[in-house]
Structure 1
Amino acid sequence: MSGNADTQNHLMQGSAVFVSASIPDPGRWEGGFDSFGITDAVVAVARAVLENGGKLVTAAHPTIAPLLLYVGAEQLEEKEQQITVYQSAAFKPILPDATERYERDGLGSIIWTDRIKDEPANPTLAPGSLEHMRKRMLTETTPVAAVFIGGMAGISDEYRLFHRLRPTAPTYAFGSPGGEAQTLVDKSPASLQAELTKSEVYPTVARHIVDDVIQRLGRGGV
């Protein structure tokens, strides 16, 4: 990017980017994945968005929440809330401490959504609660783009819902770390698909994603 630091830090003008990511559970996922690659990609995307004046919206899977907390803390300068985490009340009994710290540490806010039909704190047994949470998350925050990393079937569910609710907003899926996200690379902008498929230099990939979003914002395309 070009320009001075102050200009760079505000290029996204507070726009939100939805991050859908998790490290697959080997007990429920048969495909390949690189857990270290997933974490590296998540950290790279979070840094690139926050460093350019954007904000993050996520459901903060337990394997991802600590990563976003870490990046948010290193970027925090004026106690400005930078991360919005949506959680279903169905999962409140198993909420990790890292997620609760978003509010305690002034990094962001947790938005609780209703539990549906007494569904238990199990993602495979709480489809109604998850769908309700996802709909609220994507309609209330109006993210300008979405990034998909790793994950299992829920990644594709969130892609389909995002695309239905935000049909003109770009989506970017990392292929190299594996997981369900690698099936969505062809939904990414054509100019970035080769890089998203093969590159493991995640900070560079993340920077190119944010550059693409900024260009689209400048053209009024998202």
Structure 2
Amino acid sequence: MTQSRSIFLSAGVPDPAAKHFMGEGDTAAISAVISALLYVALGRRRIVWGGHPSITPMIWAYAEALDVDYGKWVTLYQSKLFEPDFPEENARFKNVILTEAVPGDRERSLELMRRQMLSESSFSAAVFAGGMGGILDEYRLFREMAVDAAILPIASTGGASAILAKEIDASRDLSDELDYVDLLFTRLAIDPNEKRGESILE
């Protein structure tokens, strides 16, 4: 058995009407990256992310299809500020961690959630797909708190992840490679033959 560190997922489907919109995203590509990450890593590495109404249902649906205890291998963080808008799938995850809200202050509430989320795990990598302004906020905080972790902004998903890839001069495979399964097996250094459910979690 091997000891593994967690993978952070920062993803979202850009909404042109949102204040933090940073460019069109490719919804199909965002979905494909998340599906690829789950196929590659679920049951092999713990996946940590901050709940997003368009992403959480996607992860739950895929996790249900694999014969692993996703309550053990997936950790979802949410700020209590957004509790009225939680997707119903939240209730199906066994380890949703609710962080304290700053009443009336969305940005401060998100910062508290992100700091708690990124301080409670040891990370080997972060995968960024699509998204809006929060992608860049999470990248900067992640970079501060997980200095040695791999940064993987999948530029082909568009949105803020494409901007991040350009900002950090990410390698061309993160822009050009559309076989996301092969890309993530390689960049996350996960052996396709590694059995699910056998790694020792921190």
Classify the TM-score, shorter chain: 0.7 to 0.9
Given the alignment, which residue of 159, 173, 177 partners 1:199? 177
* Local SS of the residue matching 2:129: strand
Summarize deviations over 1:167-203 as a string: whole Å, max 9, x none.
111111101110101122257796xx21111122222
Given the alignment, which residue of 195, 200, 208 partners 2:186? 208
Structure 2: how far apart are the matches of 1:174 and 1:79? 24
Matches within 5 A, 1:137-216: 137-185=117-165, 193-211=171-189
Letter of the structure 2 residue corresponding to residue 82 of structure 1? W
1:62 aligns to 2:62 (yes or no): no
Structure 2 length-normalised TM: 0.85
Unpaired stretches in structure 2, ≥5 consecutive residues = 192-202
Higher strand share: 2
146 and 179 in structure 1: CA distance in 2 versus 1, 3 angstrom threshold = same
CA RMSD in angstroms comes to 2.3
* Local SS of the residue matching 2:72: coil
79 and 16 in structure 1: CA distance in 2 versus 1, 3 angstrom threshold = closer
Structure 1: how far apart are the matches of 2:169 and 2:187? 9
Unpaired stretches in structure 1, ≥5 consecutive residues = 1-9, 104-108, 120-124, 214-222
Select the structure with the greater relative contact order (CA < 8 A; seq sep ≥ 6): 2
Given the alignment, which residue of 96, 99, 113 partners 1:110? 96
78 and 31 in structure 1: CA distance in 2 versus 1, 3 angstrom threshold = closer
Cα offset for 1:45?
1.1
Partner of 1:38: 30
Structure 1: how far apart are the matches of 2:145 and 2:82? 24
Q: How many residues align?
A: 190
Given the alignment, which residue of 19, 37, 54 partners 2:9? 19
Percent identical: 31
Higher helix share: 1
16 and 129 in structure 1: CA distance in 2 versus 1, 3 angstrom threshold = same
1:133 aligns to 2:113 (yes or no): yes
Cα offset for 1:32?
2.5
Matches within 5 A, 1:3-14: 13-14=3-4
Q: Is the 8 A contact 1:173 1:188 kept in 2?
A: no
